[in-house]
Structure 1
Amino acid sequence: MEERIDKKMRYSWIKNFGPQWFSAVMGTGALSISMNIASDYYSPFSYISQFFLLFSIIMFLVFIVPWTSRFITNYNDVKKDLFHPVLGNFFPTMPISLVIIGIALDRVGPSIIDISVVNTISLYLFIIGSIGIFIFGWMILSIIFTHKKIKLEHANYGWFIPPVSHLIIPVLGFSLMKHYTDALVDNILFFISMIGFSVGLLLFIFVGSIVYHRYIFHELPPSHLAPTFLIGIAPTSIITIILVKILGALSGFSILGIDSSSISAEIKLLSVMTWGFSLWWFAFFL
């Protein structure tokens, strides 16, 4: 009897395991990165960053089991979530988590394990995460374009997650370029990163205009969706980071004949502009 109840509980847990759980992994990984940056000013933060890195990895390994099992045992529930106007946008959080763990590992990892191991693992996380982001981004947009029951009033700032997922690719890609001297690897990392940047930037503009229109001409979304408004700060914040990392990626490399010193001033101006918009959005959210 107890065995039957335990089996039923495990089945129920997998059945109801939503795609949004990986948002916790994203936040924990980002906290590890933040603590590592803060350790430049207060060294004990480095130990906290290591803890959150390990914790984010453990969380990912725990969550990936029911997340993957659900595709096999409860595919109809997965399909239902994919076609949901809110939950569907959270599926990219799984590959985003891989990339964020890769970014955290690139910064924090060398203080724990050998740097060559860190670079190899981060590269694999970049490849797998990028593939997952492009696949889910394409799937979700296809559903939004073709789903007959999705209406304008369903639009919310959770729709920004697919653009954000593409924008996170170059953050890790440009960071990895400094570890490889092979021109082919650098070019591949650069072009994949730039494709992710362009897709994410344009989707941010297109989706942003739709959501902006919805907030003006329709009633505000339900109160439980209010936290999604803060997601709007992510795209321009990440774009600021990307612009800074582009300069670092191009320094010492000859890609498309671009001289980083010739575009340095323009990129710095753009980064200040995007940072300013993020600051404005945060103030607007408050």
Structure 2
Amino acid sequence: MQTMAAVQKQKSSVQFLPVNLFASVMGISGLSLAWRQASKLFGTSPVIADIIGIVAVLVFVALSIGYISKWVLYPQKVKDEFAHPVLGFFFGTITISILLLSSVIGAYSEISGQVIWVIGIVPTFALSFVIVTRLLNGNHEPGNAVPALLIPVVGTINIAVTGGTMPFPWAHEINLLSLAIGGIVALVFLSLILSRLIHQAPLPAGSTPSMMIMIAPFEVGFLGYTNFEQRIDPFASILYYFGLFLFIVLFFKVFKKSIPFGASWWAVGFPMAALSNAALKYAMFVHSWLLIAISAVVLALLSIVLVVLFIRTINMLFKGSLLKG
């Protein structure tokens, strides 16, 4: 009995904390930024954005403590996760979370936001270099060209999303570099992913939510490009509209009762948050009742989805199933 109890105790451990849970910070941070924009468009209270921002910071701190503990206590587990041909891509959720939190915290303290942004750009570029180098080593299975492939490298666009107004004299070139890397790589990686999805077997049910990541290059690209240019032009509009179209297509493929709930569901959070922020920004630019209505629907949908994900994740944690091998 004691042996069985020990085995059961071992099964629920920080060593099984998945790195992809940092996607929750991305989604919650994006929701906070979206509600901050909504306060300008709809006149909603900025307190909503403040509360959600605090939750994002707390979740990041909790996950950071947990994952650092995993790194210290079970370093081989972290190494194996990073070296995994698919799971390794999710380390980009950590660097993107830092960048997004720079905008969340920057709303209260510009200096703090700037410091966090500078801290975030270093590992973001470093991870992009490592992932691209690893891919160019060859001998990779075509089946591993999954949507998560977009996270670490295309995630560099978030540097421009969060740093478009940074006052540093070198920020302009850094933002341009991030758009160059993320934008060009997005074209290549999306081609690989679409080829895999079209010509090979469908993704496993547990990985299906990650398909929503494919809208991120367009909506994050829209936000990064418009922040960099400080204007919305036809190219930006094309990015926004195609991302919206792709979201509608993927929505009916992802949100199915047959897909089991797990940490992988957080993959839908940030892409939807990016779409919401883009929709709000575009609606404020065009001043069309239809686009304003679309932005309201997307924001409401995003809020509902993230609340459900948050509650179900906490429920899994208390039941002990979140950290089981």
TM-score bracket for the superposition, by shorter chain length? 0.7 to 0.9
C-alpha contact (below 8 Å) 2:81/2:88 kept by paired residues: yes
Measured in 1, the distance between the counterparts of 2:11 and 2:199 equals 42
Matched, 1:171 2:171: no
C-alpha contact (below 8 Å) 2:38/2:44 kept by paired residues: no
Measured in 2, the distance between the counterparts of 1:247 and 1:140 equals 28
Task: Choose which of 130, 140, 149 in structure 2 pairs with 1:159.
Answer: 149
- Structure 1 residue matching 2:26: 3-state secondary structure: helix
Q: Per-residue deviation at 1:146?
A: 3.0
Measured in 2, the distance between the counterparts of 1:10 and 1:57 equals 29
Deviations 1:193-230 (A, max 9, x none): 11111111111011111111112221111121111111
Measured in 2, the distance between the counterparts of 1:279 and 1:30 equals 17
**2:53 aligned partner, one-letter code:** L
- Structure 2 residue matching 1:240: 3-state secondary structure: helix
Matches within 5 A, 1:254-269: 268-269=233-234
Which residue pairs with 2:241 in the alignment?
276
Matches within 5 A, 1:1-286: 13-106=13-106, 108-109=107-108, 118-146=109-137, 148=139, 150-177=140-167, 185=168, 187-248=169-230, 268-286=233-251
Taking a change above 3 Å as real, the CA distance of residues 46 and 9 of structure 1, as seen in their structure-2 partners, is farther
**1:92 aligned partner, one-letter code:** G
- Structure 2 residue matching 1:92: 3-state secondary structure: helix
Q: Per-residue deviation at 1:16?
A: 1.0
Measured in 2, the distance between the counterparts of 1:223 and 1:204 equals 24
Q: Per-residue deviation at 1:44?
A: 4.2
Deviations 1:101-133 (A, max 9, x none): 112233x42xxxxxxxx1111111111111111
Which residue pairs with 1:180 in the alignment?
none
Q: Per-residue deviation at 1:141?
A: 2.6
Taking a change above 3 Å as real, the CA distance of residues 52 and 213 of structure 1, as seen in their structure-2 partners, is same
The gaps in structure 2 that reach 5 residues or longer are: 252-325
Deviations 1:20-72 (A, max 9, x none): 11111111111101111111244443111000111111111111112123223
Measured in 2, the distance between the counterparts of 1:10 and 1:59 equals 24
C-alpha contact (below 8 Å) 2:26/2:97 kept by paired residues: yes
Q: Which has the higher contact order (CA 8 A, sep 6+)?
A: 2
C-alpha contact (below 8 Å) 1:167/1:238 kept by paired residues: yes
Comparing 90-99 and 41-50, the one that deviates more: 41-50
Deviations 1:253-278 (A, max 9, x none): xxxxxxxxxxx6xx601111111211
Measured in 2, the distance between the counterparts of 1:100 and 1:11 equals 33
RMSD: 2.3
C-alpha contact (below 8 Å) 1:158/1:228 kept by paired residues: yes
Measured in 1, the distance between the counterparts of 2:205 and 2:30 equals 26
C-alpha contact (below 8 Å) 2:179/2:225 kept by paired residues: no
Taking a change above 3 Å as real, the CA distance of residues 101 and 11 of structure 1, as seen in their structure-2 partners, is farther
- Structure 2 residue matching 1:50: 3-state secondary structure: helix
- Structure 1 residue matching 2:40: 3-state secondary structure: coil
The gaps in structure 1 that reach 5 residues or longer are: 110-117, 178-184, 249-263
Measured in 1, the distance between the counterparts of 2:171 and 2:10 equals 41
Identity of aligned residues (%): 20
**1:156 aligned partner, one-letter code:** V
Q: Per-residue deviation at 1:140?
A: 2.4
Moved over 6 A (4+): none
Q: Per-residue deviation at 1:159?
A: 0.9
C-alpha contact (below 8 Å) 1:169/1:193 kept by paired residues: yes
Taking a change above 3 Å as real, the CA distance of residues 9 and 52 of structure 1, as seen in their structure-2 partners, is farther
Taking a change above 3 Å as real, the CA distance of residues 76 and 93 of structure 1, as seen in their structure-2 partners, is same
Q: Per-residue deviation at 1:156?
A: 0.9
- Aligned pair count reads 247
Which residue pairs with 1:182 in the alignment?
none
